């Protein structure tokens, strides 16, 4: 029987990370691959079109778990996924990123004795108010092969007692996808369609609970955006994430969007086009910090911390967690900086090939025996 790798995706960033790995594993005709979409991102504009844009195969299964509080959503994925793993018994389950689907897949696979590969392992913000931090740490504890994007992630795992043999520094699959599709995105010239001048607008994204779930905080952030327009002397463009849109409606904050250019959620290639041609980006996303680093677009991250410190030391990113009345000055300063593209080590478009090499190498050998009982270092 051909060896089997089962991939689990659930949210937009997962699609961009798994696509190059699936493509890299295809070079081995002896490996059977399955793609399971949990349906965690149930909005069609954030799910369906990403498969089309990224050239991903149609999912073999769609679990359709939809939106729910964290515990319910994680539980739904586990309940739906367990009989699938029981039926197909893959040699590896590959899970990516830090969403609820990531952790749910790791828990089910671990209890069934199925080897787990975690792409983008070891990233740590050390902010336990972020659900993603909990998902990262627990998924890494359960995983058999941990693929890291930067040296700080390797050090985090080592300090947590993870066996060095399980850790593989392979680079950043997000950049594999960016490199592959950037030429196509550039041809779209989305900024022209929107009546914008290249390099003369600020692209904003907001979706983290800290910024959009509290009505006072969300109102203050939205009120700061026209001030950003004024200080930068250019438009602010805000594609509104479904979570953010729900909060705006729930709290009656629609009037706070006056004065900025509001868009529906964009397809991946459209967003990449708009980001590449922006003068600066204001975000609370994780992956965008990495993408702007490679593109050279100045980035202001509206968070007190980041799990991707290399974007601060080697990239274009800076954090902002101060008085929102001062946000416009910080974005304006970033906006006036020259573009400065950066390529951290192994962000070379070949990360997925290195991941495939590890997985294919271990498929050719006896199952990896690892000790998952190591005590986590104090204070982590």
Q: How confident is the model over 262-288, as pLDDT tens digits?
A: 999 999 999 999 999 999 999 999 999
342 within some domain: no
At residue 3 the predicted structure's pLDDT band, cuts being 50, 70 and 90, is confident
Cα(230)–Cα(218) distance, integer angstroms: 20
- Does residue 369 carry a pLDDT above 60? no
Collapse the DSSP code of 113 into the 3-class scheme (helix H, G, I; strand E, B; otherwise coil) and give the result: coil
Q: Which residue has the tokens 């990403």?
A: 50
> Are residues 304 and 202 part of one domain?
yes
Total domains, the chain: 2
Determine the pLDDT at residue 166: 97
379 within some domain: no
- For residue 282, give the H/E element and its range: strand 280-283
Q: Which residues contact 60 (CB under 8 A, 6 or more apart)?
A: 34, 35, 36
Over residues 79-121, the pLDDT tens digits come to 999 999 999 999 999 999 999 999 999 999 999 999 999 999 9
- Does residue 375 carry a pLDDT above 70? no
160 within some domain: yes
At residue 372 the predicted structure's pLDDT band, cuts being 50, 70 and 90, is low
> Are residues 165 and 64 part of one domain?
yes
209 within some domain: yes
| Cβ-count burial 15-46 (b if 16+ within 10 Å, e if not) | bbbbbbbbbbbeebeebbbbbbbbbbbeeeeb
> Are residues 150 and 97 part of one domain?
yes
Catalytic status, residue 154 = no
> Are residues 114 and 21 part of one domain?
yes
> Are residues 188 and 306 part of one domain?
yes
Mean pLDDT value of segment 163-175: 97
Residue 322: count other Cβ atoms within 10 Å of its Cβ. 11
> Are residues 351 and 327 part of one domain?
no
Mean pLDDT value of segment 213-231: 97
> Are residues 81 and 20 part of one domain?
yes
Over residues 295-325, the pLDDT tens digits come to 999 999 999 999 999 999 999 999 999 999 9
Collapse the DSSP code of 297 into the 3-class scheme (helix H, G, I; strand E, B; otherwise coil) and give the result: coil
73 within some domain: yes
Say which of 37, 168, 207, 241 is annotated catalytic. Answer: 207
Contact 157, 125 (CB under 8 A): no
235 within some domain: yes
> Are residues 187 and 316 part of one domain?
yes
375 within some domain: no
Task: Determine whether 3 is exposed, middle or buried from the number of CB atoms within 10 Å of its CB (0-12, 13-18, 19+).
Answer: middle
Give me the CATH number covering residue 197: 3.40.50.2000
Whole domain around residue 191: which residue ranges? 182-335
> Are residues 129 and 220 part of one domain?
no
> Are residues 100 and 80 part of one domain?
yes
> Are residues 224 and 103 part of one domain?
no
High-pLDDT (> 90) share of the chain, %: 84
Q: Which residues contact 6 (CB under 8 A, 6 or more apart)?
A: 33, 34, 35, 36, 84, 85, 88, 90, 92, 93, 94
Most confident of the ranges 63-67, 93-97, 242-246, 374-378: 93-97
Average pLDDT, the chain: 93
31 within some domain: yes
At residue 57 the predicted structure's pLDDT band, cuts being 50, 70 and 90, is confident
Strand positions, DSSP E, 70-207: 92-96, 115-119, 145-148, 167-169, 202-204
At residue 378 the predicted structure's pLDDT band, cuts being 50, 70 and 90, is very low
Q: Which residue has the tokens 């002397």?
A: 233
> Are residues 219 and 293 part of one domain?
yes
């Amino acid at each position: 029987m051909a060896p089997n790798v089962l991939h689990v995706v659930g949210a937009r960033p997962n699609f961009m990370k798994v696509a190059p790995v699936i493509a890299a594993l295809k070079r081995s005709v002896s490996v059977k691959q399955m793609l399971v979409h949990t349906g965690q991102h149930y909005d069609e504009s954030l799910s369906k079109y990403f498969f089309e844009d990224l050239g991903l195969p149609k999912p073999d299964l769609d679990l359709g778990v939809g939106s729910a509080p964290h515990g319910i959503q994680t539980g739904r994925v586990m309940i739906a996924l367990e009989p699938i793993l029981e039926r197909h018994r893959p040699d590896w389950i590959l899970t990516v990123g830090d969403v609820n689907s990531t952790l749910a897949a790791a828990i089910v696979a671990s209890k069934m004795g199925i080897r787990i590969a975690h792409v983008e392992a070891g990233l740590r913000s050390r902010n336990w108010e972020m659900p993603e931090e909990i998902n990262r740490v627990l998924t890494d504890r359960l995983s058999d092969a941990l693929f890291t994007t930067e040296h700080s992630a390797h050090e985090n795992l080592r300090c947590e007692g993870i066996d060095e043999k399980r850790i593989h520094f392979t680079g950043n699959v997000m950049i594999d996808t960016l490199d592959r599709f950037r030429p196509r995105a550039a041809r779209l010239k989305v900024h022209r369609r929107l009546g914008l001048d290249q390099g003369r607008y600020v692209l904003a994204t907001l979706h983290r609970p800290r910024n959009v779930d509290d009505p006072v905080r969300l109102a203050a952030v939205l009120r700061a955006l026209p001030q950003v327009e004024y200080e930068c002397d250019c438009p602010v463009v805000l594609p509104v994430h479904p979570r953010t849109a729900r909060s705006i409606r729930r709290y009656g904050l629609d009037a706070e969007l006056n004065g900025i250019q509001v868009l529906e959620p964009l397809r991946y290639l459209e967003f990449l086009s708009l980001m590449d041609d922006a003068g600066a980006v204001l975000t609370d996303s994780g992956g965008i910090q990495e993408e702007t680093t490679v593109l050279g677009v100045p980035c202001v991250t509206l968070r007190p911390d980041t799990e991707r410190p290399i974007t601060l030391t080697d990239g274009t990113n800076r954090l902002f967690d101060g008085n929102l009345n001062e946000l416009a000055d910080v974005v304006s300063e970033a906006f006036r900086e020259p573009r400065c593209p950066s390529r951290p080590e192994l962000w070379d478009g070949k990360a997925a090939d290195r991941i495939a090499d590890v997985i294919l190498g271990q498929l050719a050998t006896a199952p990896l025996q690892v000790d998952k009982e190591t005590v986590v270092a104090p204070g982590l």
